[in-house]
Amino acid sequence: MPAVVTLCRESAVEFYRSMDKPPFQAVSPGPRDELITSMSRLRSEGFSPGVGKPLHVIAFSQSTRTRAKDMSVHVWSKPLPKGSLLATGRRGVLVTSPEFTLLQLAGPPYPNAESEESSSASNPAWQLDDPRFWAHDRRAVELALLMMEFTGTYRRRPTRYGLPRLSNFNGLSRFCEDAGRSRGIMLLRRALKLQMDGSFSPMETAIALMLTLPAALGGYGLPRPILNARLRGTELRSTASSQHEILPDLYWPEREVVLEYDSREHHGEEDSSLMNGEKLAHDAERANSLVAAGRHVLVVHRRQAMSLSRFDLVARQLAVLLGQPPAAASTLQLERRTKLHTLLIYS
């Protein structure tokens, strides 16, 4: 009888962040598979999943639960949605799919508002917002953040770039349909309405969400852009462009508006090396090519993104270009904006 352990929830996220080429081969647990639910048994079997403790694993009946200190077993007794489990390439170790991982994280345990109450009590400016409501809304935003990582080309902790996407909007939508009324499905569907495919970096994700989330969540409620759309050929009027192809960070094609994030901090913001100088020249040519092709270009530097007052100016300038000046925010919405900015930029 094969012995199997299936990583889920936080351990699945950690596994995906550690992989350059994630698994995509769907599998089903065999009816006679023995589920390993102790770390000592895991080590004795020679398994090394390569993630930290506690190890979050999934079981399919209450009888396999364990109280091991270094292992957390989550029971899923309902039928599995299609494509819920993937092979990891490591003997006897499976992992919940990115979509199923997100569904599990959207389910119980639900957030406790006590931590929000204590932080609000220490900050007089955070007195209007009901901490219970913010705890629930914050969870939707955090799920959208992870969803954009899974549908983007980067991984966090540590941050790495240029990796294969783990999922996309269509795949997540199909999974939601297959999941029916599973625990967490309502929050997962809510987060799916907030996310955008194709982000290249955590800061692109943070900026895109800050600009587009509704005012009730603390965002600016601006139209959703296309992230890293591929512009080439005649779209760039190539005779006036030094580049044959450009992928604008955030692009609103209806208004021909582009927002570019100046990512020099990846090379050292104060670095005067030839490499950084070459990147500055490349970025300037890129922005000039977009302007020559008829686009309106705004550039956001890291220090602008990190400061809410500076970012607010960028958002208002962008709103003018998009023809949708944001409505004046209420005191509660401004409080939410401060919280949201902290969550997106500093998490």
The pTM of the full predicted model, rounded to 2 decimals, is 0.88
Same domain, 121 and 194: yes
pLDDT band at 213 (very low <50, low <70, confident <90, very high): very high
Q: Domain boundary residue among 96, 114, 149? A: 96
Q: Domain boundary residue among 96, 115, 144? A: 96
- pLDDT tens sequence across 130-186: 888 899 999 999 999 999 999 999 999 899 999 999 999 999 999 999 999 999 999
Same domain, 194 and 123: yes
Per-residue confidence (pLDDT) for residue 271, from 0 to 100: 47
Residue type, 170: N
CA–CA distance, 226 with 199 (Å, rounded to integer): 9
- pLDDT tens sequence across 185-205: 999 999 999 999 999 999 999
202: nearest Cα among 258, 126, 115, 144:
144
Burial of 98 (0-12, 13-18, 19+ CB in 10 A): buried
Alpha carbon 143 to its chain centroid, in Å, reads 7
Same domain, 236 and 149: no
- pLDDT tens sequence across 214-267: 999 999 999 999 999 998 766 666 555 556 788 999 999 999 999 999 876 543
Alpha carbon 227 to its chain centroid, in Å, reads 13
Give the pLDDT mean for 284-293.
83
CA–CA distance, 212 with 188 (Å, rounded to integer): 18
Per-residue confidence (pLDDT) for residue 196, from 0 to 100: 98
- pLDDT tens sequence across 96-127: 999 999 999 999 876 654 444 444 444 554 56
Same domain, 39 and 84: yes
Same domain, 65 and 113: no
Task: Give me the percent of the chain exceeding a pLDDT of 70.
Answer: 83
Per-residue confidence (pLDDT) for residue 202, from 0 to 100: 97
The β-bridge partners of 35 are 4
Same domain, 82 and 148: no
CA–CA distance, 291 with 299 (Å, rounded to integer): 12
Same domain, 330 and 205: yes
Q: What's the number of domains the chain is made of?
A: 3
Same domain, 156 and 178: yes
Same domain, 235 and 321: yes
Per-residue confidence (pLDDT) for residue 104, from 0 to 100: 96
Same domain, 44 and 56: yes
Lowest-confidence region among 3-12, 62-71, 194-203: 62-71
The domain of 35 spans: 3-96
Q: Domain boundary residue among 79, 96, 113? A: 96
Same domain, 59 and 111: no
Residue type, 145: L
User: Helix axis angle, 185-194 relative to 98-106, nearest 10°?
Assistant: 110
Give the pLDDT mean for 19-28.
83
Per-residue confidence (pLDDT) for residue 100, from 0 to 100: 97
Higher pLDDT, 272 or 53: 53
Residue type, 239: T
Per-residue confidence (pLDDT) for residue 65, from 0 to 100: 60
Same domain, 104 and 211: yes
